[in-house]
A = this chain, B = another copy of it.
Amino acid sequence: MADPLKIGIAGLGTVGASTIRLLDRRANALAASCGRGVTVTAVSARSRTRDRGLPMERFRWFDDPIALARDPGIDVFVELMGGEEGAAHEAVKAALDAGKPVVTANKALLARHGVDLARRAEKAGVALNFEAAVAGGVPIIKTLREALIGNNIDRVYGILNGTCNYILTKMEAEGLSFDACLKEAQRLGYAEADPTFDIGGFDTAHKLALLTSLAFGTQVNAEAIHVEGIERITTEDLLAADELGYRVKLLGVATRSEAGVEQRVHPTMVPKSTPIAQVDGVTNAVAIDADAVPELTLVGPGAGGEATASAVVGDIADIARGQAGAPFGRKTGDLEPLPAAAMQAHKGGYYVRLSVADRPGAAAGIATRMAERGISLESIVQKHRGGKVYGGDDPSKVAGAVPVILITYATTEADIRGAVDAMVSDGYIVETPQLIRIERE
């Protein structure tokens, strides 16, 4: 049997500590699977003295993760510090430039510097693995990079952020407001004190950028993603979705068509019958439409120390077995520049919730604005006339207003936005309209 593979880990938070524990627990199985042992020999973290529930004296300690990354005593550098710049970035570059394979869970780093880092890995002929960066314990990177290589992929989409899915699930199940559910998520540790990164859709966008590259063979381009968060979703929207046969999920969606590659993150109505609609709480799910495998869905834990560590260990094992596929599935020179499709050209159905002034001509005015843009309606629901409007952003404005919900057939983003803007200009609409895109199977 070959010498054990010597691992250096930078970052000993929940994921780092869990990685050490899994490597211990599965030492025999790893050796049997990889034909060589895997052993952590050196670590780096912010605090040397913090109690991690692990005997630390068996590891060489580095105050500086960059020094660890370059250390000749390690064979693989595992980056679990996080952050798209600074120490994590420098350390990963240092490891690759020193010819060491890298495993990282850092989606922000890869979303920003993925192609450059892949180029460095390629130059050194080493692996840059990042299964843990997307959907935690769900092996979506390996599936796209290896298993589905026989397929042209048309679409990849998923629930990639457990915080958002937890909040939406709880709002729906208990009829509570967004703010109340966010507070509960924070109390349970599912949301950060500053939750913007999760609820604003930015975390999902970073993950989507990586999936897009792998699915379509394009350069990672997170800048091109249209991002909306879940802050404006109300319980009224969730109730209406339920009545109409949908559920609302924050999705990251990437599609390829003649218009180019569309990447978007936003609250989305999905038909209840789809596997993705049935994913609740902090669970993640990714669905792939491929030409030979028409719909493949992977569902599992998207976060948590152990689930994420499972992905890290899988990546380490691939390196121990000698696997070193290209980080984004092909040489960086073969990755095409992303032909970004304009969001205004997006085609699909829309849910539109309007607070309409309760006066003559309003309904006709709305219908006219839709017709002008050639938008057909699949359903119109007008609720409790003159009653209470749930979730309005300014209750003082909506006294006497009538909530109207429209579901459109496929139209374009430009047309629906144009029609709704015209209605607002006409003065019929007394609240900021709510638009939610519909994603069909």
Contacts and interface: CB of A to CB of B under 8 A. Distances in A.
Given A26-B152, A32-B331, A295 B301 contact: yes
A129 to B, nearest CB: 11
A301 B275 CA distance: 13
Interface of A: 18, 22-23, 25-26, 29-30, 32-33, 35, 131, 137-139, 142-143, 145-152, 217, 275, 278-279, 290-301, 306-307, 309-314, 317-318, 321-323, 325-326, 329-331, 334
10 contacts: A22-B150, A23-B150, A29-B330, A139-B147, A147-B310, A149-B313, A292-B309, A293-B300, A298-B298, A299-B299
Copies in the complex: 2
Contact of A22 (B30, B146, B292, B311): B292
A310 B331 CA distance: 22
A416 to B, nearest CB: 31
A292 B149 contact: no
A312 B384 CA distance: 57
Contacts of A322: 322-323
A148 B314 contact: yes
A290 B331 CA distance: 34
A29 B292 contact: no
A300 B299 CA distance: 11
Contacts of A275: 275, 278-279, 299
Contacts of A306: 291-293
A25 B152 contact: yes
